[in-house]
Structure formats: structure tokens, C-alpha cells
Amino acid sequence: MGADYYELLRITPDATFDEVHKAYRALAMQYHPDRNSAPGTGSAMAAINEAYAVLNDPVRRREYDEECLKTERFDVAGPVLRAAYETLLKQGWIVTDSTDSTVVLEQGFRVVRVSFVARLDNRFLKKIGRQFAGFSVVMAVELETPFNLSLTTAVVDLMRSRHYGAPFPDEIYRSLFAPFVG
């Protein structure tokens, strides 16, 4: 089984047929080669068309859903991200803000926003840069490469224990993330 059609259309498996159509139209407006000349839009549009063709047809959608249930993969991201979160909390920094996928940590005048993501792509990385003006770290289980790095965002690849992007500002920050990078 190839791509996740629900993920491609940015909808959930319980989306109605109207929601499938609405999502398809929005993505077609964004990725159609007549409207967007960026490299890769043709292949993105082909994948979007394929996903729509399957999810908009009740019979094909039911067959697709049944096949997904048979081949459902073990989700390693959840446990890895939870372990990373718990490890960070044991470092002695103060949690000043927390959501399901982010935590803001402070120690003295140092502040870092940490995001936990199963799969990191450029769209998400750009969004992080707009949400937090200070130093931030994205801890990811899977990286979609190539990605564009910013001067204030570091990326930690949890599966390969690697650090990309912005350097840690000082040794205190570096020690906070030392358990995750080799």
C-alpha cells in the first residue's frame, strides 16, 4: 500500500463525501500545475487526484479502508515522542506552557519551545518559525527531506540521534538536548 489518501487530502477517515470534495478542491487550487509552477506540483496533483478518485467512490473507499485495516503499521512515533517528552521534563527546566504537541521550557533567562512531531516537513517547519520568535527545537521521529532550516529552529532526529539547523545557543541548551543527539 502506498500513500495514505486521507493524509494526502488532509482529512480524517471519518470525513463525509462533502468534506472529501471540499478538501480536494482546496488542494487542487493550490497544486494544479496551471496555477502553481513550482517543481513537483504535477506529481503532487497526480497523487491528490488518485486519492480523490478512491475516497470519493463509496465502493473503492470501503475497499481502501479494509486494506488499511489489514496492513496497519505499528505506530512507533507515539512511544518515542512520549519518551522524549518525559526525558526533557527530567532535566530540571521549568515548564511555562504546554499543549499536546509542544512545551515551553525556561531556566533562568533561557527559553526554548520544543515541538514533538511524528513527521516533519517544510510546511510544518515554516509554521513553527511563525509561531515562536525565540529559539525552538523540533523533535521528530521521521524527517521529510530536503527541508529548509531557519536560524532559530533546531531539528532533532530522534531515530538517528542527529541535530540539524540552528546551533544550540550555549552549553546549557546543548546539555538539555544531549540525551537525544550523538
CATH T-level topology, domain 77-180: Trna Endonuclease; Chain: A, domain 1 (3.40.1350)
Residue holding cell 482529512? 11
pTM greater than 0.85 = no
Task: Check whether 73 has a pLDDT greater than 60.
Answer: no
Q: What is the CATH number of domain 5-71?
A: 1.10.287.110
Taking only the tens place, the pLDDT of each residue in 144-157 is 877 777 788 899 99
Count Cβ atoms within 10 A of the Cβ of residue 129 and give its class: 0-12 exposed, 13-18 middle, 19 or more buried.
middle
Smallest Cα–Cα separation from 158: which of 115, 129, 126?
Answer: 115
- Going by C-alpha positions, the residue among 140, 147, 91 that lies closest to residue 119 is 140
Domain residue spans in the chain? Answer: 5-71, 77-180
